[in-house]
Amino acid sequence: MSRRVLDRVKNSIGVVIAFLAFGGFVWGAYSYLDAQYAKAEDVQRIEQRLEFKITKDRYETIQERLWKLEDRFPDKRKMPSSVLEEYRQLESEKELLQEKIKEVK
C-alpha cells in the first residue's frame, strides 16, 4: 500500500471516531436532561394526587365541623337559624366533595 492510501485510511478512521464520540456526547446529554426534568405525565399525576388530597382533607374538615354542630345541637329543630344555615351549607358542600372524590378515584 502506498503512503497516500495509508494516510487516507488514518484520516477516515479519525473522522469515524470523531462522529462516534460526538454521537456519544449527544446521547449522554439527552439521557441526562431526560432524567433530570419531570415529564408532563409525572407532573399531571402529581397534580391529580394533590387535588385528591386537598379535596379529601376539606371533606374531613367539613365532616368534623358537622359532628361538632350535631354534638352541640342534638336536635336540629332547636338550632339557631344562623347555625342551621351553616349546617345546611356544610352538608351540601360535603355532598359535592363526595362526588368529586368518587370521580377522582
In the predicted model, what is the mean pLDDT of the chain?
90
What average pLDDT score do residues 82-93 get?
Answer: 95
Distance CA 89, CA 52 (A): 21
Percentage, residues of the chain above pLDDT 70: 98
Render pLDDT for 51-77 as a digit per residue (tens, 0 to 9): 999 999 999 999 999 999 999 999 888
Q: What is the pLDDT of residue 10?
A: 83
Query: C-alpha angle with apex 28: 24 to 34, nearest 5 degrees?
Result: 145
pLDDT at 1 over 70: no
Who wins on pLDDT, 88 or 32?
A: 88
